[in-house]
Amino acid sequence: MRRLLAVALALLLAAPTVAQERLAIAGGRVVTNTGAPVEGGTVLLSGGRVEAVLPAGAAVPEGYRRIDAAGKWVTPGIVAGISQLGAVEVHAVDEANETVARTAPASAALALETGLDPDETAIAVTRIEGVTAAVTAPFPGRTLFAGQGAIISLGEGERAPIRARAFQHVAYGELGSRIAGGSRPAAWAEILNALDEAQRLRTGLVSPMRDQHRDLRVTRDDAEALVPVLTGAQPLLVRVNKAADIRQVLTLRARYPGIRLVLVEATEGWIVADELARANVPVIALGMENLPGRFETVGATMSNVGRMVAAGVKVALGTPDLDASFQPRLLPQYAGNMVAQGRLPGGVGLSWDQAFAAISRAPAEIFGLSDMGRLAAGARADVVIWSGDPLELSSAPEAVFIGGRSQPMESRQTRLARRYLPGQPDTGLPKAWTR
């Protein structure tokens, strides 16, 4: 009986999951992110992957359900370059915000995926706007090192992140100096102290009792978590804005040759764009900052992203601020503004292709996810059908596919709208939201 049960269990575990439907999205303007758009092309999806992109007029193979996209735009899903999706239900309520550990003894060792909620309200709200994946980042709290972020899929019912512990996040500049005690030298000393402790662990120079010493400013767990940063296995995202601070951060490459730097925000990145390009250091920016709201952003300009890209810097757009008004669902709007910036007298913006890549292919490439952000054979089947140009405010997603599966085009907001819009049938229920 035990053998029979064991065999039955083995067969059950080996059985394939419910087969995914084979789909052919036909007749649309297909943006592949690998070359010119394919007018009237057909995108074949099978097994959660893009099987092929066929030219106009190609017959749909047998066994595929045809989806008519004539007159529509078909693109890879939007990838939010940085966000708090899945980790924050209410920004102003600590109990509903997993991104900040204000008093925790650990810092770099914190792994955000343990606090992710795939049912967070904002995920469905963002998904129906064409965002299919997101880089979810912790935010610095008690120490400069915020911890390890994750890359998540926004697919309905998906529980595991695409990549857990995908990067380490640290603050420098004004935020870092404030956390470290009031100055940039204090912040820099803390960053070097933590990385040096990780280096000692990596090279075996730390004695067994070293982590018990009263003068040690980073725990052994945190130092161990930083070892992948030194080897380049985990990129180090550095939140920094001022040109002088960016130059200081770039010196980490000489001290720790294996480190993979990614800058976050970089409001004055345009000033040092040539240096960033030579160092091959990418940037994740909001792309909409043009006010000198702080001393470190005196050089803010809407041409920041355009100038960096023109210099050869890989730039992705994200929503790196905790301000809830910066929402990932607005990334197509931000990208469209980058195109418009290039049409203003004296402005430097992006071409349409560059702008769309900044919210799809570029963030995927920064994190080594070469199968995302493009429509090509073997890529993840994250696809959006738009009513028109996705960078135009008049356009909207009409269908979203994540991993080849059709996603519900509903969110809490759409359900509330149906309940409260004038002319809706009276349900007899009280005028309050219920589950």
Residue 101 backbone zone (phi > 0: left; psi -120 to 50: alpha; other: beta)? beta
Q: Is 41 within 8 Å of 53 (Cβ atoms)?
A: yes
Contacts of residue 311, defined as CB under 8 A and 6 or more positions apart, other chains included, come to 273, 274, 276, 277
Residue 365 pLDDT class (50, 70, 90 cuts): very high
Q: Is 153 within 8 Å of 117 (Cβ atoms)?
A: no
Residue 17 pLDDT class (50, 70, 90 cuts): very low
Domain-by-domain residue ranges, the chain? 2-75+391-416, 80-372
Q: Give the single-character DSSP code of 97.
A: B
Residue 9 pLDDT class (50, 70, 90 cuts): very low
Q: Is the pLDDT of residue 41 over 60?
A: yes
Q: Report pLDDT for 204.
A: 82
Residue 270 backbone zone (phi > 0: left; psi -120 to 50: alpha; other: beta)? alpha
Q: Report pLDDT for 240.
A: 97
| pTM of the shown model | 0.90
Q: Give the CATH H-level superfamily of domain 2-75+391-416.
A: Urease, subunit C, domain 1 (2.30.40.10)
What is the tens place of the pLDDT at every residue in 272-323?
999 999 999 999 998 888 889 899 999 999 999 999 999 999 999 999 875 5
Residue 325 pLDDT class (50, 70, 90 cuts): low
Residue that the structure tokens 């926004």 belong to: 154
In percent, the amount of the chain with pLDDT more than 90 equals: 76
Q: Report pLDDT for 16.
A: 39
Q: How far apart are CA 48 and CA 21, in angstroms?
A: 9
Residue 255 sits at φ, ψ, to 5 deg, of -80, -35
Q: Report pLDDT for 416.
A: 82
Average pLDDT over residues 370-391: 97
Give 239's strand partners: 171, 264
Strands 38-46 and 23-30 turn out to be antiparallel
SS3 at position 208: coil
Tell me the average pLDDT of the chain. Answer: 90
Fold agreement between 2-75+391-416 and 80-372: no
Residue that the structure tokens 């040539």 belong to: 274
Contacts of residue 104, defined as CB under 8 A and 6 or more positions apart, other chains included, come to 110, 141, 142
Of the listed ranges 230-244, 301-315, 317-331, 418-432, the one predicted with least confidence: 418-432
Topology of domain 80-372 in CATH is TIM Barrel (3.20.20)
Q: How far apart are CA 337 and CA 72, in angstroms?
A: 21
What is the tens place of the pLDDT at every residue in 57-105?
999 999 999 999 999 999 999 999 999 999 988 877 888 888 888 888 8
Q: Is 422 within 8 Å of 38 (Cβ atoms)?
A: no
What is the tens place of the pLDDT at every residue in 378-388?
999 999 999 99
In percent, the amount of the chain with pLDDT more than 70 equals: 90
Residue 325's CB is within 10 A of a number of other CB atoms, namely 7
Q: Is 144 within 8 Å of 431 (Cβ atoms)?
A: no
By residue count, the chain amounts to 435
Q: Report pLDDT for 10.
A: 44
Q: Report pLDDT for 418.
A: 79
Which of 114, 36, 33, 44 minimizes the C-alpha distance to 76? 33
